[in-house]
Amino acid sequence: MSKPTFIDLFAGAGGASTGLINAGFECISAIEIDDWAADTYELNHPSTKVIRSDIQKVQDKELKKFKGVDLIIGGPPCQGFSIAASNRRKKDDPRNHLYLHYVRAVEMIKPKFIIVENVKEIVKFKLENGELLLNDFINRLVKLGYKLNWRMLNAKNFGVPQDRIRFFLVGSLAEKIILESIETHSEENNLFKLKPFISLEEAINDLPIPVRDVDEYSYNNKPLNDYQNKMRKGSDKVYNHEPMRHTQRIIERFKHIPINGSILNAPSSHRNRTRGDVDVLSEKVYSQNHRRLNPKEPSKTITASFYSSFIHSYQDRNLTVREAARIQGFPDKFRFLGKRTTLSNKLLAKKGIHEDIHLDQFNQVGNAVSPIVSEALGKLILKHL
């Protein structure tokens, strides 16, 4: 019996695809505009055809070639209305209208099922005419014949070691799919006998201590729990585990930050310096920078630019890409390509380093749909197939 099929729009590194494949689907094609993310996708899913293009440039006739697939999944880029971009949010940001191309793909292909993932702020964002974007999105999909259901899902309720709330919408041409019943974990065992949350410590404390200029390691101890066993399956190495190159001044700052603390807990003498003059303290202090994570709880939300946001619970350094990937639910065999980190796109453009204006490894992890959540959604849809 052949596997049910899907295509992945706005595929990124392939978190959503990884989960659906684990659930039992086959990916026919993925569309991704960023070269580094596409490199990562192709490395980990070599049998999937990746279309490296802006979806706005993918013509209707190309989309129609995928008629017959069972499912379309996609998360139209959210920078235009994400809370993380609230200081630069614009109602006329062209990215705000990429959802229309998701609708166009659905209209051309008419799959049995659809999944949309996005930041939770999508429910509040208004278009230029004052209408809620989500209302317009839903109305267009309903007109195409889909019965829809949406819900905010927290990744930690699926066994992901991360407190990550995201918007998910599922649609079917047949019957409405109920999302409320698929969560598998909770803070305490309750009447439904759900499993407890996975803590940060349980997720990453089997990984080797990283050292500079080393990106590949052998495991140096046995897995300590079921989650680590799951992450190690199919891999005999640890990849993407090189630490950031912190200066001694930064390391000294980290030493003063306690668990659950941030840069605000560091003495003023250890805070940021003014750009261009290391002898002058900066007046800008951001409470979201350099937060030391609590090892006994799920991690805070991993975002696209998280690398300077979090400090390892016990070591005076930021997280590695592999640790972040574990927190997102990527298996250890999944490898990330492209540069580990780069300057901001704005600064790269200013310096003329256009060849690095891509999604670095930290961006790829932070932008991804957790494969574990995607797998749960895939299994739910399989029941309806």
DSSP-assigned letters across all residues of 85-138: GGGG--TT-GGGGTHHHHHHHHHHH--SEEEEEEEGGGGT-B-TTS-BHHHHHH
264 phi-psi bin (left φ>0, alpha ψ -120 to 50, beta other) = alpha
User: Which residue in the block uniquely carries the two structure tokens 């590194």?
Assistant: 13
The one catalytic residue in 7, 38, 50, 78 is 78
DSSP conformation class of 321: H
**27 is annotated as an active-site residue:** no
For residue 345, what are the β-bridge partners?
Answer: none
Please report, as a single letter, which amino acid is at residue 35. Answer: D
Q: ∠ at Cα 181 (176, 187), nearest 5°?
A: 150
Nearest Cα to Cα of residue 377 among 21, 1, 124, 14 = 21
Burial grade of 256 (CB within 10 A; 0-12, 13-18, 19 or more) = middle
DSSP 39-82: HHHHHH-TTSEEE-S-GGGS-HHHHHTTTT-SEEEE----TTT-
Distance CA 182, CA 194 (A): 11
The whole-angstrom separation of Cα 50 and Cα 28 is 9
Smallest Cα–Cα separation from 43: which of 54, 58, 32, 53? 32
Is there a contact between 63 and 51 (Cβ–Cβ < 8 Å)? Answer: no
208 contacts 177 by C-beta, under 8 angstroms:
no
> Rounded to an integer, what distance in angstroms lies between the CA atom of residue 146 and that of residue 175?
9
- Just list the catalytic residues: 78
